[in-house]
């Protein structure tokens, strides 16, 4: 199939991996037709603003914090849950802004992160084999054969929950929730367990002092009232994503208006696959997850396919290699991309290459391994004269026990206490706060040496 003519559905001529086996394709097209005329969730000018911020971060003029749940659940679409996610992301971004002295691009894995690629089509729960859970937009987590069958009606619920979540985020921000002067109010119920809370409190006091000083000098601090906050999810379900793709009459370009940014997963980034075909026609900023087995030449071909005009901010390479493999796999990739001269933003996802299984089938990740991969990424980029422009995390504002280590030194034996994730393990509130302090130290350490 030729790659010359792109349309929002030209991907249908290419092999599409990880698509749910819907039993009734007619029901699916009925739903996607209905979705395609519903209002978009975001606006092209917002998407362009994000693209410019990513381009600035790629040049060292900012830092991208992308994070949120591994898989959002429909039941999480409530005030408390959204508020808690916003609190931890705002706290982390404040720590990073203060530590790095750079604007932070806040990019939630939120308001649409409802679909999951899986390694196996079937999974075994208590000795019984079921179709794998593929995210709430596909099937139900409950171990029940009938409820595990992909149901296209769930796409409508995914759209609705995304819209409700984003609507509440927008209301919170325009209502002043993100105002820096309220930084003490972003505390969470599990705060007493967060070892880094005192450091956070001291930092906020210093910032508030500086704001009071500015105000008493007559400097207008209203710029601190509000923030940019962007949404992102894995663009996995192509029927859904193409239904949310619209032509912008002003520019004539096509945008996926279901999120500001979308990424292609490690399992679906085949050069001649349907996902790459779909993504190459979008004007949105696009992320691509890259694991340790990737061939550097193939990655440069991929970047070229996605961004033939070398638009700045358009492609973010999100490496997720694992602490054991990053030292070997990242340098050739960095060198090949650098040699190609193509503009990319580099981000590090230190979660997905560091998953290990404990006991029967409990997935976990160790804080120390996550830290080690991050540190390697900062160092390798510094060594090759490239810039690590951001990080990508699975995390939550809740007091879960899914990843081990951190200041509270969670052990494998603690995992059963509050393991809630429906797919992969997330950093909990305390670990996320600690991680933000660690990243800001790494940014300072590795950029202090810059020219
Ligand atoms: O979040 C990423 C993937 O969906 C996840 O790691 C897949 O997990 P699996 O290997 O258990 O299918
Ligand atoms: C599936 C994911 O990651 P990866 O494609 O890197 O495995 C994810 O981030 O949810």
Instruction: Examine residue 218 and state whether it is found in any structural domain, yes or no.
Output: no
Q: Which residues contact 320 (CB under 8 A, 6 or more apart)?
A: 266, 289, 290, 291, 348, 349, 350, 351, 352, 353, 392
Instruction: Examine residue 199 and state whether it is found in any structural domain, yes or no.
Output: no
Closest ligand to residue 289's CA? 2
pLDDT at residue 118, as a whole number: 98
Which one is predicted more confidently, 204 or 160?
160
pLDDT surpassing 70 at residue 193? no
Q: Which domain holds residue 65?
A: 10-178+226-448
118 CB within 6 A, ligand 1: yes
Q: Are 201 and 184 in contact (CB under 8 A)?
A: yes
Q: Are 156 and 144 in contact (CB under 8 A)?
A: no
CATH number of the domain that 243 lies in?
A: 3.20.20.70
Q: How far is the CA of 338 from the centre of ligand 2 (A)?
A: 24
Pocket mutation for ligand 2, best pick of 267, 290, 302 (most atoms within 8 Å of C-beta): 267
Q: How far is the CA of 292 from the centre of ligand 1 (A)?
A: 16
pLDDT at residue 221, as a whole number: 62
Instruction: Examine residue 191 and state whether it is found in any structural domain, yes or no.
Output: no
pLDDT surpassing 90 at residue 209? no
pLDDT surpassing 80 at residue 189? no
| Overall number of domains in the chain | 1
Please report, rounded to a whole number, the percentage of residues in the chain having pLDDT higher than 90. Answer: 84
Residue pLDDT, tens place only, 47-90? 999 999 999 999 999 999 999 999 999 999 999 999 999 999 99
Instruction: Examine residue 210 and state whether it is found in any structural domain, yes or no.
Output: no
Instruction: Examine residue 23 and state whether it is found in any structural domain, yes or no.
Output: yes
pLDDT at residue 217, as a whole number: 77
Instruction: Examine residue 203 and state whether it is found in any structural domain, yes or no.
Output: no
Helix (H, G, I), strand (E, B) or coil at 68: strand
Cα gap 331→346, rounded to integer Å? 13
Average model confidence (pLDDT) for the chain? Answer: 93
Cα gap 265→313, rounded to integer Å? 18
pLDDT at residue 3, as a whole number: 61
State yes or no: 403 annotated in a binding site: no
117 CB within 6 A, ligand 2: yes
Instruction: Examine residue 62 and state whether it is found in any structural domain, yes or no.
Output: yes
Q: Are 80 and 424 in contact (CB under 8 A)?
A: no
Report residue 177's pLDDT band, with 50, 70 and 90 as the boundaries.
Answer: confident
119 CB within 6 A, ligand 1: yes
Instruction: Examine residue 264 and state whether it is found in any structural domain, yes or no.
Output: yes
Residue pLDDT, tens place only, 268-298? 999 999 999 999 999 999 999 999 999 999 9
275 CB within 6 A, ligand 2: no
269 CB within 6 A, ligand 1: no
């Amino acid at each position: 199939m030729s790659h010359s003519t792109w349309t929002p559905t030209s991907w249908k001529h290419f092999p599409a991996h990880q698509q749910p086996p819907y039993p009734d394709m007619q029901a699916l097209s009925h739903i996607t037709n209905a979705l395609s005329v519903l209002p978009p969730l975001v606006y092209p000018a917002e998407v362009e603003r994000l693209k410019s911020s990513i381009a600035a971060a790629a040049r060292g003029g900012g830092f991208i914090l992308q994070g949120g749940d591994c898989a959002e659940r429909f039941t999480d679409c409530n005030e408390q849950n959204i508020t808690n996610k916003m609190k931890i992301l705002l706290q982390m971004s404040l720590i990073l802004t203060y530590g790095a002295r750079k604007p932070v691009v806040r990019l939630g894995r939120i308001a649409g992160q409802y679909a999951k690629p899986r390694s196996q089509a079937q999974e075994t729960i208590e000795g019984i084999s079921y179709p794998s859970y593929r995210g709430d937009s596909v099937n139900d987590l409950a171990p029940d054969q009938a409820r595990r069958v992909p149901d296209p009606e769930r796409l409508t619920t995914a759209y609705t929950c995304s819209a409700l979540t984003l609507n509440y985020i927008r209301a919170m921000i325009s209502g002043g929730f993100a105002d820096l002067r309220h930084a003490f109010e972003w505390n969470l119920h599990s705060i007493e367990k967060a070892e880094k809370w005192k450091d956070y409190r001291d930092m906020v006091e210093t910032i508030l002092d500086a704001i009071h000083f500015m105000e008493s000098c007559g400097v207008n601090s209203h710029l601190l009232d509000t923030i940019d906050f962007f949404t992102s999810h894995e663009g996995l379900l192509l029927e859904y994503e193409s239904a949310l793709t619209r032509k912008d009459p002003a520019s004539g370009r096509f945008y996926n208006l279901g999120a500001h940014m979308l990424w292609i997963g490690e399992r679906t980034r085949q050069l001649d696959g349907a996902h790459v075909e779909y993504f190459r026609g979008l004007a949105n900023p696009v992320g691509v997850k890259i694991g340790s087995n990737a061939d550097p030449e193939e990655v440069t071909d991929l970047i070229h396919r996605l961004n033939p005009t070398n638009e700045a901010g358009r492609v973010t390479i999100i490496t997720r290699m694992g602490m054991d493999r990053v030292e070997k796999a990242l340098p050739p990739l960095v060198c090949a991309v650098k040699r190609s001269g193509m503009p990319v933003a580099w981000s590090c996802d230190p979660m997905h290459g560091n998953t290990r299984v404990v006991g029967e089938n409990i997935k976990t990740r160790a804080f120390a391994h996550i830290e080690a991969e991050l540190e390697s990424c900062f160092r390798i980029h510094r060594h090759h004269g490239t810039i690590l422009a951001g990080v990508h995390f699975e995390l939550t504002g809740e007091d879960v026990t899914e990843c081990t280590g951190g200041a509270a030194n969670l052990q494998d034996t603690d995992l059963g206490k509050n393991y809630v994730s429906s797919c992969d393990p997330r950093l909990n509130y305390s670990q996320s706060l600690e991680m933000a302090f660690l990243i800001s130290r790494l940014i300072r350490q590795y950029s202090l040496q810059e020219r």
